[in-house]
Amino acid sequence: MVLSRNSIVRARDVMQQNVVTIDGMATAKEAAQKMRANKVSSLLVDKRHVDDAWGIVAVQDLVRGVLINDRIPEEVNVYEVMRKPVITVPADMDIRYVARLLYRANIRRAPVEEMGKLVGMITLSSLILDNDFF
């Protein structure tokens, strides 16, 4: 995507559309296997009900919650190591504001929602690596 100074690039323009999810009751081992199979470094943890918040589990969470603490991956549930709630980004948000939000919140990725529905995932690296912004 080639950007001009006059064009507004939105989250939907740079987000990754294939979001991989997992149930919070799955094990850390299952999460790691799913990450490997889908070649992703994080999984969105499914909501339990409509009023619930999304969770997220990343490679760093598995390292911190399982490896460093010398726990058995088959005995650790995703909900024990995930982060929740997750900051979400509106699909029509300008990427300049997305970048600022992610940076200030000290997070690397956020789910993208449109009209209450999950439509993608945006990462700091997708803002830079997947665009001709620089």
Classify domain 11-129 at the CATH topology level: CBS-domain (3.10.580)
pLDDT on residue 50? 84
How far is residue 61's CA from residue 106's CA, in Å, rounded to a whole number? 15
pLDDT on residue 51? 86
Tens digits of pLDDT across the chain (134 residues): 545 556 788 999 999 998 999 999 999 999 999 999 999 999 999 998 888 889 999 999 999 999 999 999 999 999 999 999 999 999 999 999 999 999 999 999 999 999 988 999 999 888 877 666 65
The overall pTM is greater than 0.75: yes
pLDDT on residue 2? 47
pLDDT on residue 6? 62
pLDDT on residue 7? 78
Q: Which residues neighbour 79 within 8 Å (Cβ) at sequence distance 6 or greater?
A: 24, 25, 45, 55
Neighbouring-strand partners of residue 113: 90, 118
What is the residue-wise DSSP string for 46-96? PPSSTTSPPEEEEHHHHIIIIITTT--GGG-BHHHH-B-S---EETTSBHH
Bridging pattern class, strands 89-90 and 109-114: parallel
